[in-house]
Amino acid sequence: MCIFCKIIKGEIPSKKLYEDDDVLAILDISQATKGHTLIMPKKHYENLLEIPSDELRRVMIVAQMVAKKINEVYKPAGINLLNNCGEVAGQSVMHFHTHIIPRYTSSDLKLGFENHMDQYDLDEIQKELKL
């Protein structure tokens, strides 16, 4: 059983912020910044590609509730909502979850996008990916 399933079953302690029949929000043990929270479905789905859309909707509604609460109490300068999907993308626990990470300064979390627009053709990519 995965570590988050053990937390959900109460076999491992956690700092719960919110719980209902389908969703659990707990403080991330690493606290990348003060208030860093994880929101997850109670049912085990490996990642963003596996979770059914109705369950994802419930998780995201709770993520917004948590973000609003953090915003009200700690008044961060900003908030990141982050999901790592797959090991290469930084996923270490293979039970879908989204991070809510309050930002107090622009340098308290390292997330950087490099601009590679010179390497790609946006028209071609749009053609390939359009839904």
Q: Interface residues with Zn ion (CB under 5 A)?
A: 2, 4-5, 44, 95
The yes-or-no answer on residue 97 being catalytic is yes
Residue 29 vs 129, nearer CB to ligand AMP: 29
d(CA 15, CA 65): 17
Cβ(70)–Cβ(37) below 8 Å: yes
- Neighbouring-strand partners of residue 130: none
Which tokens hold the place of 21? 């029949």
Residue number, 11 or 125, with CB nearest to ligand AMP: 11
What is the rounded CA–CA span in Å between residue 1 and residue 40? 15
> Using the rule CB under 6 A, is 51 a contact of ligand AMP?
no
In angstroms, what is the minimal distance from the CB of 111 to ligand AMP? 13
Per CB under 6 A, 92 contacts ligand AMP: yes
